[in-house]
Amino acid sequence: MTDTLAPGKPAKLIIDGKAVDAASGETFTTWNPATEEPICEVAKAGPEDANRAVQAARAAYDSGPWGRMRPAERQRLLWKLGDLILEHADEIGRLETLDNGKPIFESRQIDAPMVANCFHYFSGWATKLTGDTVPVNPAFFTYTLREPLGVVGAIIPWNFPMIMVGWKAAPALAAGNCVVLKPAQETPLTAVRIGELALEAGLPPGVLNILPGPGSSVGAALVKHPGVDKITFTGSTEVGKQIMRDCADTVKKVTLELGGKSPNIVFADADLDAAVRGAYNGIFYGKGEVCAAGSRLLVEKSIHDEFLAKLVERAQKVQPADPLDPKTRLGALVNESQMKKVLGYVETGVSEGATIAAGGKRRPVNGKGWFVEATVLSGVSNSMRVAQEEIFGPVLAVIPFDGVDDAVTKANDIFYGLASGVWTRDVKKAHLVARRLAAGTVWINTYNFYDPGMPFGGVKGSGFGRDLGADSVREYSQVKSVWTSIE
């Protein structure tokens, strides 16, 4: 534990290189969803803090060291931050599990290395953002400069609190921007800790500011602030729409990643055991609180019953357990209201005519916690609410289909378009279906794989813009055209 996150002391905001209290002096409590007990108090940022942080970020960008730093030096600092995250992976992983309820296996073995990997990968981009020379006319020397945007406001959700810091801050900083990041109130701790490690790595004051606090006050203030050049947001559709509207007044760029209801399609010619594992991990990894969760499982009719039986057997073997136990694979949902929402959807599914083939109930661990069983709903049709709406929990809707055209029609018959999966041994079919799916990502014979080098984002109601990959760095930079008369 650090000074900021020491027992008995409230976690602070990170503004202008310092750990500080909120201007109002207010704090809020962050809770452990597995035990229903408080973890600690956290400084509660408000609009005044947003203003302080934006001013610090502006100063670091406009006249301070970050805007003038050699890209190679930026690269070195971001790489160092990646190293520090790896060195502190045990501590950060534990904090994440306490705050979010996800199994320590996920937060320590997968999420923490992924965040470090983001800073390592994107550090390399700092020295590789180049413009072009453009031969338009012998009378001119014409070229483009690829420049940062300035100050980026990042607003992130509670389902991947530390990973989202890496996904948003690493490319933005590598491109030369300064960042003000607002974690979700539900899960502020790892963002604060990474903010501290950034200072330890040597990032100058104001370059990465962290503001835990309510979206409706500090988040909205950030979105409306004229000193912010871009908002990058991951979260719910409703808030995403509001943010887009609020960005209009100051003509800000915006990137929105708004979740999904992703189809995971299993054809009869698939390796069925691999597909069962993929279907299982596609929905139950991260307790199903995953924007890209394969929450609609489309199964070809000829193998439907056999496949469902195998999947149900697997789902019934995995029970919710203490998230701090390294063997646990199904943790606690983030809070009581999310649990109620998820259980409400199970009821809705039954009232619409679906059958609970596995799970379906709350299952406290040691008498406490917002745990829900791995749930499989069968007999679902694509028009039901449980097939169309994002449940954001460990609930899988299984929908039969008949042939390629029916699979593609059902897969695309949805508001969202974030991700999708295709399971088949037929290479031609796999790639033809991949082309026809309206989704930002298609996984073939796998599911839920991510890498900082591969872009991730949605189409349709899932939003626009891309996290990760070269595309994300481009989205945090802009092009300037320079004309020089040489005659």
Residue 97 or 232: the one with the smaller Cβ distance to ligand NDP is 232
Q: Report which residue type is found at 105.
A: F
Positions in the binding site for ligand NDP (CB under 6 A): 155-159, 182, 184-185, 214-216, 219-220, 223, 234-236, 239, 242-243, 257-259, 291, 338, 341, 390, 392
Do the beta carbons of residue 21 and residue 13 sit within 8 Å? yes
Nearer to ligand NDP, 64 or 171 (CB): 171
Give min distance, CB of 179 to ligand NDP, in A. 15
Structure tokens given for 138: 């012998």
232 backbone dihedrals φ, ψ, rounded to 5°: -115, 125
Q: CB-based contacts of 157: which residues, under 8 Å, 6+ apart?
A: 164, 184, 234, 235, 236
Q: Least Å distance between CB 331 and ligand NDP?
A: 16
**Nearer Cβ to ligand NDP (284/401):** 284
- Residue number of the CB closest to ligand NDP reads 215
Q: At its nearest, how many Å lie between ligand NDP and the CB of residue 367?
A: 25
CB of 231 to ligand NDP, least distance (A): 8
Closer CB to ligand NDP, residue 257 or residue 300? Answer: 257
Instruction: Please identify, using beta-carbon distances, which residue of 215 and 455 lies nearer to ligand NDP.
Output: 215
- What are the catalytic residues? 257, 291
Q: How far is the CB of 148 from ligand NDP (least distance, A)?
A: 23
Q: How many CB atoms lie within 10 A of CB 317?
A: 11
| Beta carbon nearer to ligand NDP, 55 or 185 | 185
Kindly state the smallest distance separating residue 482's Cβ from ligand NDP, in Å: 36
**Cβ of residue 385: shortest distance to ligand NDP, in angstroms?**
13
Smallest gap from Cβ 165 to ligand NDP, in A, equals: 12
What is the separation, in whole angstroms, between the first and last Cα of the chain?
Answer: 64
182 or 230, CB closer to ligand NDP? Answer: 182
Nearer CB in complex with ligand NDP: 419/442: 419
Three-state SS string over 148-166 comes to ECCEEEEECCCCCHHHHHH
